[in-house]
Amino acid sequence: MIEMRKPENIAEEFQKAWNSHEMAALASLFCEDATFVNRFGHYVRGVQEIISLHAPIHETIYSDSIMENEIIETIALGDNAAVVHCWSRLTVGTAHPAGPHAVDTVILAVLKLQPRGWLIQALENVTLTNPRTGEPVLRDMISVRG
């Protein structure tokens, strides 16, 4: 079980859980009633639904994927809640039908302090895209603040 001692730990711990492809590690990061919106806008509620959304892709198209996260900002909402924004790059390999490529996203996570540490209450993942074409872009190809 993963224990996050401060909200900023989400970047590294989410990355480690993803890269392990172990659903128990991923599940341990979330509150039981957490919500998750993936980069395609698919909304689910509850840790079991979050795992049901991720397990099939980790067994197939993302089985050789690697995630790298970087904190943008942490905003405290009192002593027991925080909002964390992260840059995230997902690099996929040959298991993906489109072949090896990378996708950059921004993660927005709301975390709550629980008895066993900080847990994710809500997480949304947004793909960086060119607003004129809708094509995904990598972070180093656009001008961003952060």
Question: Which domains occur in the chain, in start order?
Answer: 9-141 (3.10.450.50)
Torsion, CA 1, CA 4, CA 115, CA 21, rounded to 10: -30
Residue 50 CA to its chain's centroid (Å):
11
How many CA atoms does the CB half-sphere of 117 hold within 13 Å?
14
**Kindly report the CA angle at 31 between 30 and 36, in degrees rounded to 5?**
60
Q: How confident is the model at residue 1 (pLDDT cuts 50, 70, 90)?
A: low
Predicted local distance difference test score (pLDDT) of residue 16: 97
What are 5-62's pLDDT values in tens digits? Answer: 999 999 999 999 999 999 999 999 999 999 999 999 999 999 999 999 999 999 999 9
Cα 82–chain centre separation = 16
- pTM (two decimals): 0.91
Q: With CA atoms as reference, report the closest residue to 19 among 82, 94, 69, 56.
A: 69
- Tens of pLDDT along 102-126? 999 999 999 999 999 999 999 999 9
- In terms of phi and psi (left: phi > 0; alpha: psi -120 to 50; beta: otherwise), the region of 78 is left
- 144 pLDDT higher than 80: no
